[in-house]
Amino acid sequence: MTVGADIQAYCGKCGTVWHVVVAMVGTRIAQVECKECGARHRVRGESAGEARPHRRTGETRAARGAKGGKALVAADMTRPPVHYSTRASFAPGQRVEHPRFGAGVVERVLGPGKVQIHFAEGSKVLAMGRDS
């Protein structure tokens, strides 16, 4: 791998995976640039090399489970899906339709203003119950 090479790495800003290597330290990739949004960051994803522990929990991605997978709770099929809005409030099992992530199931309410929703590409923590 060299500077200027194409690489697949997850972009936390826009969610795409196509990047260009912009900095290396020895043989290790130090920084990449997203081809979609231009954000520069460390390598994220499978091409990052050895598994790094999560900064708070200390678990590796393998220990937490791969993205996608199965939701923590079953969807409540008796109620129709609702459109996601930061103003809405949600309950575990509720089906949600998000404009970017698609269909999802509310896994849990994390506290005031936060909800964890499972989508096809994995779980996301999103805002809820906001006034404005």
Structure pTM?
0.48
Final residue of a structural domain among 32, 64, 96: 64
pLDDT at residue 117, as a whole number: 92
C-alpha distance from residue 105 to each of 40, 79, 98 (Å): 32, 12, 10
Secondary structure of the chain: what % helix, strand, coil (to 5)? 5, 35, 60
> Do 59 and 71 belong to one domain?
no
Looking at the domain assignment, is residue 33 inside a domain? Answer: yes
Amino acid 46: pLDDT: 46
Regarding whether 83 and 50 lie in a shared domain, the answer is: no
Show contacts of 50-58: CB within 8 Å, 24+ apart. none
In this structure, are residues 14 and 39 in contact, taking their beta carbons and an 8 Å threshold? yes
Tally of domains in the chain: 2
Per-residue pLDDT of the chain in tens (132 residues, 90 and over written 9): 788 888 887 777 777 777 888 988 888 888 889 888 888 888 865 444 445 566 666 665 555 544 456 667 788 888 899 999 999 999 999 999 999 999 999 999 988 889 999 998 888 999 998 875
pLDDT of residue 71: 67
Question: Phi and psi dihedrals of 64, rounded to 5?
Answer: -80, -20
With respect to residue 1, please indicate whether it lies within any of the assigned structural domains: no
- d(CA 105, CA 84) in angstroms, rounded, equals 11
- How is residue 47 annotated by DSSP? G
What domain range includes position 48?
A: 6-64
If asked whether residues 57 and 116 sit together in one domain, one would say: no
pLDDT for the residue 28:
85
Q: Which residues pair with 122 in a beta bridge?
A: 119
Query: Does 76 share its domain with 19?
Result: no
The pLDDT value recorded for residue 97 is: 94
Burial class from Cβ neighbours inside 10 Å (0-12, 13-18, 19+) for residue 50 reads exposed
